[in-house]
Amino acid sequence: MNKYETIIIINPNAETEIVDKITTDVQNLITGDGGEGTVTKLENWGKKKLAYDIKRNKEGVYVLVDYDLDPKLVQRLERYFSLNEQIIKYMTVRAEDIPEPRKKEISKIAREENDDFIKPGFVNYDDDDDDDDFRYDDDE
């Protein structure tokens, strides 16, 4: 099983019952009768403005679904999206297992990777490649 993420954009004029039915259908297609897949996250982001018109709509109801599913069964899910008239756009991508880094780890990595890291209070007056171009702000 692979991890996938799908964004579904539903017609903004659709009733809330229709949006709920679509999300329930998506969950049922993923989990299936035999429990082939699992839904890890399902978020209804509500009505948002589109970046460009899609099927003459300026807005759409966004739904995010993260799930684990066999790659062969993703086609069944996308077929449902393409046949449902209320779904105006969808996109499925395979998600990777990338943990969200913490701020301290990011700044530590940035300092380790950046050779020109300047400590607070120091200014870089780099005219050439010498290391003597750093001086403290108060040394003027």
CB burial of residue 56 (10 Å; 0-12, 13-18, 19+)? exposed
CB 7 within 8 A of CB 90: yes
pLDDT in tens, 6-15: 999 999 999 9
The reply to whether CATH 3.40.630.10 applies to domain 2-94 is no
Query: Average pLDDT in the 83-111 region?
Result: 74
Q: Where are the domains of the chain?
A: 2-94, 103-134
- pTM metric for this prediction: 0.66
CB 63 within 8 A of CB 46: no
- Helix, strand, coil proportions of the chain in percent (round to 5)? 30, 40, 30
pLDDT in tens, 15-44: 999 999 999 999 999 988 665 889 999 999
